[in-house]
Amino acid sequence: MSTETPVPTPASQPVLRAENLHRSLGEGESRVHVLRGINLQLKPAMTYSVAGPSGCGKSTMLYLLGLLDRQDKGQIWIRGELMSDASDAERTAARSRHIGFVFQFHFLLPEFSAAENVMLPMKKLGARSPEEMRSRAEYLLGLVGLGAKADRLATHLSGGEQQRVAIARSLANDPALLLADEPTGNLDVANSNMVFDLLQRLTRETGQAILMVTHNPELAERTDARLRMQDGQFVV
């Protein structure tokens, strides 16, 4: 698989396609059929929100789409490449290359600086020199308004700033798809709007698709397409 910066996904090709995904979790009598036939197409430069009651399977679906977990049945293509049956190594490579994650709890490494946190996914991919990684980290931190705080330890940043570092980190390898689970969930209104504005602007500028699980109706209202889940399926 190429480690070079990818060309944007052509408008005619979905960034991600999922067909009839099923997933059960738990063991024995407590096993639950969580996802019951998920069908989805995500197009470039589009923002999607997913809402639905607690326990309906939103996070489980994000894990499957992000290639962090395997479905029991169904198929997933990322930029036209069938990923659901690929080897673990191929899936890990595709994840590093094409997918960025933003979670409510950002999982920054506290003993690392903002720039070092942003460089981690680049190190994992191994396609850039240390100088290139550093300069890209500074560029991305500039995009999220933290250019002056590149060398601050993650723990010495505010909650909103840490979430913006996490967004910069999610963009490190220029992913075609951003998967976000309550990306603004722990932020106040001003920071939450700033983070959403940023995500939307990046989508427009880079052609990325964003799928965002959010309970916030005002943010969902601002996405291009609003999806609703219930009992492990999309409903209209």
Ligand X SMILES: Nc1ncnc2c1ncn2[C@@H]1O[C@H](COP(=O)(O)OP(=O)(O)OP(=O)(O)O)[C@@H](O)[C@H]1O
Judge contact between 53 and 230, C-beta under 8 A. yes
Indicate whether 26 belongs to the interface with ligand X (CB under 6 A).
Answer: yes
Indicate whether 98 belongs to the interface with ligand X (CB under 6 A).
Answer: no
Cβ atoms < 10 Å from Cβ of 236: 4
- CB nearer to ligand X: pick between 55 and 142: 55
Q: Phi, psi at residue 226, to the nearest 5°?
A: -110, 120
Indicate whether 220 belongs to the interface with ligand X (CB under 6 A).
Answer: no
State which of positions 33-52 bind ligand X (CB under 6 A). Answer: 34, 52
Indicate whether 56 belongs to the interface with ligand X (CB under 6 A).
Answer: yes
Judge contact between 209 and 176, C-beta under 8 A. yes
From candidates 54, 88, 126, 190, binder to ligand X by CB under 6 A: 54
Distance CA 89, CA 50 (A): 29
Q: How far is the CB of 32 from ligand X (least distance, A)?
A: 5
Q: How far is the CB of 29 from ligand X (least distance, A)?
A: 11
Indicate whether 18 belongs to the interface with ligand X (CB under 6 A).
Answer: no
- Could you give the 3-state DSSP secondary structure of residue 110? coil
Residues forming a β-bridge with 227: 50
- CB nearer to ligand X: pick between 18 and 140: 18
Cβ atoms < 10 Å from Cβ of 103: 18
Angle subtended by helix axes 114-125 and 88-98, to nearest 10: 140
Indicate whether 58 belongs to the interface with ligand X (CB under 6 A).
Answer: yes
- CB nearer to ligand X: pick between 26 and 142: 26
From candidates 1, 32, 82, 109, binder to ligand X by CB under 6 A: 32
Distance CA 164, CA 169 (A): 9
From candidates 8, 13, 25, 68, binder to ligand X by CB under 6 A: 25
- CB nearer to ligand X: pick between 33 and 134: 33
Distance CA 153, CA 145 (A): 16
Residues at the site binding ligand X, with contacts judged by CB under 6 A: 25-26, 32, 34, 52, 54-60
